[in-house]
Amino acid sequence: MLTIPTSILVEARTFFEDRGALGCEGTAMIAGTDGVATKLVVPEQHANPVPYCSVEVTRQGKSELALALGPDDRYVARIHSHPALAFHSASDDANPAITYPGALSIVVPFFGLGLRQSLDACAVLVRRDRRWLEVPAGPDRNDLVVAR
């Protein structure tokens, strides 16, 4: 189980809503240790606004991600926004940021506004058998990830 402090989700929501105000998606990584998320890492990125909506982490951003982890940290989740409904797109599947079994991918709808309704409004996927499986809101998801 992963516990994500609400402060990290508020930080993510603020970032995604700021990007969304420009018609752009955003992406970030959540680092953690021992089943607890400890920080949100927002790398430098280039986004294409509506109607083309895409986001790419720059070379500088990739360096920032590499340098952001402490000795006991690892990336436990990727979190990113979509302009409308939350789902894992073909692009998300083709460009996973993390791929180890049990890794999470959180997709926030409506340019971050979905986080105002908690993780229940988001798509949450878990990496199993080299693919992403969506875990619907409810008891199974609550056993996987909780916000506190």
Q: Does a structural domain hold residue 145? A: no
**Amino acid making up residue 97:** A
Domain count, the chain: 1
Per-residue pLDDT tens over the stretch 89-141: 988 888 888 999 999 999 999 999 999 998 999 999 999 999 999 999 999 99
Per-residue pLDDT tens over the stretch 47-95: 999 888 899 999 999 999 999 999 999 999 999 999 999 999 988 888 8
Measuring CA to CA, how many Å separate 64 from each of 8, 10, 25, 41, 97? 18, 21, 19, 8, 14
Question: Cα separation of 42 and 57, whole Å?
Answer: 9
Q: Does a structural domain hold residue 146? A: no
Q: Does a structural domain hold residue 74? A: yes
Q: Does a structural domain hold residue 147? A: no
Retrieve residue 74's tokens. 């690892």
Question: Cα separation of 146 and 118, whole Å?
Answer: 10
Q: Does a structural domain hold residue 107? A: yes
Flag whether the pTM goes above 0.85: yes
**Domain of 51?**
2-135
Q: Does a structural domain hold residue 144? A: no
- CATH code where residue 23 lies: 3.40.140.10
